Structure 1
Amino acid sequence: MNNMATELIKTQGVSSTLKRRNTAQRYLDHKYFFIMLSPVLLYYIIFHYAPIYGVIIAFKDYKIMKGISGSPWVGLDNFKELFTGLYFIPVLKNTLIVNFYKLLFGFPAPIILALMINEVRKPLFKKTVQTITYLPYFLSWIVLSGIITEFLSPSRGPVNIILTMLEFKPIFFMASVDWFRTILVSTEIWKTVGFSAIIYLAAIAGINPEMYDAADVDGISRLKKIWYITLPSITPVIVILLILTSGQIINDDFDQIYNMLNAKVMSVGDVIGTYTYTEGIQKMNYSYAAAVGLFKNVIALIVVLTANFIAKRFSDETIF
């Protein structure tokens, strides 16, 4: 009996050793791919993982001259100030509202666009539509905010010129609390919808064409083919992207909002990103700003994990 146990242990040991050797050999066989990947790995190590050390200033009264290690510990005082202050809760509310609208209207938009482009039969027209729709993605928010401001200008913008011609009063859209969130959501969709649709077009391109041929033989309409073939086939991609996008419910687009924000719409447009910038950079309250950022990232992680857990309960497609 002891001999059998000894032999079994030896066999398992040899097996694990062989697995390690095989794994190491596979890495060596593909070493050039890892060399090509090294710049990306270095980028994440230097700019994403190494700075994690600085998170501890959220628990300190950080002083520049004393440095991170020399600054005194304050425990959870910054987080207490976070939840008892007058400004953070309205800012959190604005962030959740804006990002919820972006998720509600922005997430289905590229799916719908991809389905519409896929149904176009003329290649030249299809390429033209794709180019026009994803072109705004390559423009910075600094450029786009200037274009949007001019486009919606109450004195010379084409929208207000048309409203004046129809005998309506001009509307100062960029300074209106009723319109500002709508502008944020619509411009975000306009900028990203074409580029995001590429992912779904790639997923659609991977669908077996024999399924569509069989549907044609059965006389199924194009709308039913979309509903019963295309959408079910790209559902795994939709689910995974929905899980990843759900974390953005707490992460605002700082570039967009900062370049469009003005004093008139602070009550509805000031979000966590702009609030952190004001506290951390302008007021140099670094510890408090770090506490805000840490809180935001923890909430985003919880949202992603929750979305992944829910998806796992109802579907086999999850990120882990």
Structure 2
Amino acid sequence: MEHAELIQQPAAKPVGRKAKPARKRITKRILRANIPLYLLFIPTIAYYITFKYIPMGGLVIAFKDYNFFDGILGSPWVGLDNFRLMFENPLIFGIIRNTFMLSFLVIATGFIPPILLAILLNEAKNMAFRRGVQTFVYLPHFLNWVIVGGFVVTIFANGGVINKVIEALGGQEVKFLYEVKSWIAIFLSSGIWKDAGYGAIIYLAALSSIDPALYEAAALDGASKWRQMWHITLPGIRPTIIIILILSMGKVMDVGFDQVYNLQNSIVSDYSQVISTYSYEVGIRKSQFSITAALGLFDSLLALTFVLTANKLAKKFGQNLF
């Protein structure tokens, strides 16, 4: 009898069959509700596909003896010869050294000022003053490096504004742009002046997500402003700091062509010549496109390595980009 009852009982219907159509309906509903957002996102997708992904096909030039007449597909294949020629150049290791040196100096000196500026602006109680200062420090970001380079040269060149002041006070002219240490200092400070305001806006957005009740509770417990910043503000924006650091590591090999090219000169070229400016000279002036493509591929692989390494280290702090 027990066996007969077991046989007569209807088989249970699998739950997954009902769950799958329900999930599909929910997914379709979400997609339909967000169609306007997807339409707004189309220009961004088109930009990255057109200017970031499609040009990747040109990397094949690094493995060919490229010329205009045969084109990318018709140019003869040379394998790794372009990389061998690139590393046989006695200047390449000095250029890579300069790129690493300037990049790490830019990250080391330019990473903290936006955070400090954002914290100081966040502490300002007068909103008019805060907005005015924020606008003032953000404006240099919109200036082209040609304009900023002109300002820098006008101020620090021989016979420039600062040297005229020094001479008026009875001192001797200082060659700011023609000495390595002073040139590096001007290079780094001009970058901070130009981009610190833009970076501060990102951190200000992160600061706005911190619950004000945390500061009130800390103040009631007798915590000073320094303690509040150390125990509330910095931990609150730590995810943003780590993400910005990971993205910055991806630009280690990209010092910035515009800034270096507009500020460098032949006297400090041993320390100011970087991969981007060398690629310009070899690719545009000497028309050695294959070697330039090989150098660009090598540059990209190093940048990818730094990003993956930084992301792996960030996981130890509970934060990662991907």
TM over 0.5: yes
1:186 to 184, 189, 207: 189
- Partner Cα separation in structure 2 for residue 76 and residue 23 of structure 1: 48
Q: Which residue does 2:150 correspond to in 1? A: 146
Identity of aligned residues (%): 38
Match of 1:35 among 20, 39, 42: 39
Give the letter aligned to residue 46 of structure 1.
Answer: T
Which residue of the partner structure matches residue 88 of structure 2?
A: 84
Do the aligned residues in 2 keep the contact of 1:180 with 1:268 (CA within 8 Å)?
Answer: no
Structure 1 residues 18 and 68, CA gap change in structure 2 (3 angstroms): farther
1:194-233 correspondence to structure 2 within 5 Å: 194-233=197-236
Confirm or deny: 8 A CA contact 2:153 2:160 kept in the other structure.
no
Structure 1 residue runs without a partner (length 5+): 1-6
Unaligned runs of 5+ in 2: 1-10
RMSD: 1.9
Question: What TM-score comes out, normalization by structure 1 length?
Answer: 0.92
The whole-number CA distance in structure 2 between the counterparts of 1:279 and 1:292 is 10
How far apart, CA to CA, are the structure 2 residues paired with 1:218 and 1:118? 21
The AA in structure 2 aligned to 1:84 is E
Task: Check whether the contact 2:137–2:196 (CA below 8 A) recurs between aligned residues.
Answer: yes
1:289 aligns with 2:292: yes
Q: Quick check: 2:311–2:321 contact (8 Å CA) kept in 1?
A: yes
Q: Give 1:235's aligned amino acid.
A: R
Runs of 4+ in 1 over 4 A off after TM superposition: 7-18
- Structure 1 residues 204 and 10: CA distance shift in structure 2, 3 A: same
Change (3 A) 1:60 1:18: farther
Q: Deviations over 1:75-129 (max 9, x none)?
A: 1111112222112111111111111111111001100111122222222222222
TM-score after normalising by structure 2: 0.91
- Compute the displacement of 1:8 (Å): 10
**Offset from partner CA, 1:268-310 (integer Å, 9 cap, x none):** 1111100011111111100100011111111101100000001
Change (3 A) 1:18 1:268: same
1:118 alignment counterpart? 122
Please give the alpha-carbon distance, in whole angstroms, between the structure 2 residues aligned to 1:61 and 1:12: 58
Q: 1:15 to 1:58 in 2, by over 3 A?
A: farther
Aligned length: 312
Asked which structure has the greater CA Rg, the reply is: 2
Give the letter for the 1:215 counterpart: A
Provide, for residues 41-96 of structure 1, a one-character-per-residue CA deviation record: whole Å limited to 9, x for no partner: 11111111111111100000001110011001111111112222112111111111
- Distance in 1 of aligned mates of 2:289 and 2:24: 46
Deviation at 1:222, TM superposition (A): 1.1
Which residue in 2 is equivalent to 1:263?
266
Alignment of 1:1-320 (within 5 A): 12=16, 15-16=19-20, 19-20=23-24, 22-157=26-161, 159-313=162-316, 315-320=317-322
Work out the CA distance in 2 between the residues paired with 1:130 and 1:43.
29
